[in-house]
Amino acid sequence: MHGLGNDYLYFDLREPIATAVDWAALSRQICDRHFGVGADGIILIGEMPGVDATMRIFNADGSESEMCGNGLRALAKWLYDRGLAGSKQVIATGAGNLEPEVVETQAGRATLIRVNMGHPSFDAANLGGSPLIEDLLIGEDYSLVCSAVSMGNPHLVVFGPLWDDDRLYRLGPVLERHPRFPDRINVHTVEITGKNQLAMRHWERGAGPTLACGTGVAGATALAVRLDRVTSPVTVEVPGGQIMAEWNGPGTPVYLTGPAEEVFEGFFPWP
Ligand SMILES: N[C@H](CCC[C@H](N)C(=O)O)C(=O)O
């Protein structure tokens, strides 16, 4: 399934599995776009009393992340379409229990999902000591004004004209692995295109360039609202399409409303 082209292979683990699987290695093997199926990562669907499902996400490089906004919407769709979701969905993630809501359907299948993404944290400690805005030194003689925010997973935002491919592919990996961020970081170039509009491109931690990053959209929107650069609700243009983000200030969660699509279903021969 994918959310705005941010694609993952989902494993329905609600059945006990005989063998222990090295999910990190399996993610690397599956996500290889030439020798595997190709995807931005894999998502494991589990079960736990009191929630509709649990969700674990592994990036294409095998690293595990705390949260995935596009993945959460797709999982909410998967549960809804199969009649597995309670009236009020609850999905346990690395960033806590979140409650996606199906807001539009077509022929009984979910097409648009609104998700409470939790509260943004501008807490520097969570982001390798990076304050809200910082002149980040890169190499010997080059610095970049960046902002950092956590949505359970860490995001670095560079406001200004949208980067072209050259800049994204050059700066993305350098910033992803900047020593300032011990757990690495997702990187986003964000252009303010209107009072309620942003345009973004992404270099994701553990996946590189993706067509959309839900937690990145949520975090960048909260930063832009916090820095008084846009007013909520915000329409965000990402390479994979459009998504709506809402944040009404400190003490409130960020909401994302966006599509999710199922591309195919199959059975995986356990290694
Ligand atoms: N690469 C991210 C995880 C995927 C997040 C993204 N695809 C989303 O939709 O939120 C990380 O390592 O934190």
- pLDDT per position as a tens digit, 71-107: 999 999 999 999 999 788 999 998 899 999 999 999 9
Q: ipTM higher than 0.95?
A: yes
Pocket test for ligand 1, best of 215, 243, 256 (most atoms within 8 A of CB): 215
Q: Is the CB of 215 under 6 A from ligand 1?
A: yes
214 lines ligand 1 (CB under 6 A): yes
Q: From the CA of 86, how far away is ligand 1's center (Å)?
A: 26
Query: pTM of the prediction?
Result: 0.95
pLDDT of residue 268: 80
Confidence of residue 222 (pLDDT cuts 50, 70, 90): very high
Give the CATH number, domain containing residue 196. 3.10.310.10
From 58, 87, 116, the end of a domain falls on 116
Give residue 84 CA to ligand 1 midpoint distance, Å.
25
Tell me whether residue 261 is in a domain: no
Q: Among residues 116, 149, 168, which one ends one of the domains?
A: 116
Q: Is the CB of 172 under 6 A from ligand 1?
A: no
Average pLDDT, integer, range 227-250: 97
Closest approach atom of ligand 1 to CA 217: 10
Asked if 165 and 190 sit in the same domain, the reply is yes
Could you give the residue numbers annotated as active site?
A: 68, 213
- pLDDT above 90: residue 202: yes
Mean pLDDT of the chain: 93
Strands 41-46 and 6-12: parallel
